[in-house]
Amino acid sequence: MKYNPPIPPYPLYEMSKDEARQFFDWFQNQIPYRCEQLLRVVKSSKGFSSWKNDLSRESLVPLAHWFADNVKLRKKTQSEVDEIYNSAPDWFRHVEVDDWTLTDRTYSYAFDLGIYFGEALKYSIGNVEWILKTNSPTSVDYHLPILRQEGPLDCCPYHLMKAYAFSIARGSKGPEHFPVLFDIWYKTLTG
């Protein structure tokens, strides 16, 4: 099965206000297509042909196992390592950073998984919507799609899935953590 990775119109962390709005429009239009791409790639994988993308909490269990099987790593280039140190404060330049990162394909899967996770939360909660985070320019979620409900916390499913992928790669979290993550955010967003 050919998987078409998401290709955002702008780099995610370098958008102007107008570009962020255009990106958000693109994102909202991509939701059905990205969920379909995820369905196709999961169902075409050995052992997952019966997966149902019904947005239920139960659908997250096999999806988590599929994702754990598909988190892949690559060695960082020297220029990537140099960029980390060059953009860091002086005190950080003595900290050893990992010499590996996630592959582009894993980041793409995390993007799609984030959409599915967000849509599952929306489906379960009912009155949560995707919005573009435009306040807090120092926030890591600035100019990205988030889920918001009344309350102080925003949920950025893409960042959650990236962190989850790194946790899988480090061996600190496994597939069993995915439904727990859903429960945490369900409770957080419903207050």
* Per-residue pLDDT reduced to its tens digit, 17-60: 999 999 999 999 999 999 999 999 999 999 999 999 999 999 99
Could you tell me the two tokens for 5? 């990775």
- Residues 129, 142: Cα–Cα separation, whole Å: 16
Confidence band, pLDDT 50/70/90 cuts, at residue 151: low
Residue 132 has phi, psi (to 5 degrees) of: -90, 125
How many other CB atoms sit within 10 Å of the CB of residue 101? 18
Sign of CA dihedral 83, 72, 10, 185: negative
Give the single-character DSSP code of 179: H
| Residues 6+ away with beta carbon under 8 Å from 98 | 76
Contact 142, 133 (CB under 8 A): yes
Strand ranges, E, within the chain: 73-75, 100-102, 129-132, 145-148, 154-155
Give the single-character DSSP code of 54: S
**For the ranges 77-81, 91-95, 155-159, the one whose mean pLDDT is highest:** 155-159
Break the chain into its structural domains and give their ranges: 17-190
- Read off the pTM: 0.92
How far is the CA of 186 from the CAs of 47, 97, 180, in angstroms?
28, 33, 10
Confidence band, pLDDT 50/70/90 cuts, at residue 93: confident
- Strand, helix or coil for residue 12: coil
Q: Which helix (H) or strand (E) holds 190?
A: helix 177-190
Q: How far is CA 162 from the centre of its chain?
A: 5
Quick one: pLDDT at residue 152? 66
- Residues 150, 127: Cα–Cα separation, whole Å: 10
Quick one: pLDDT at residue 84? 86
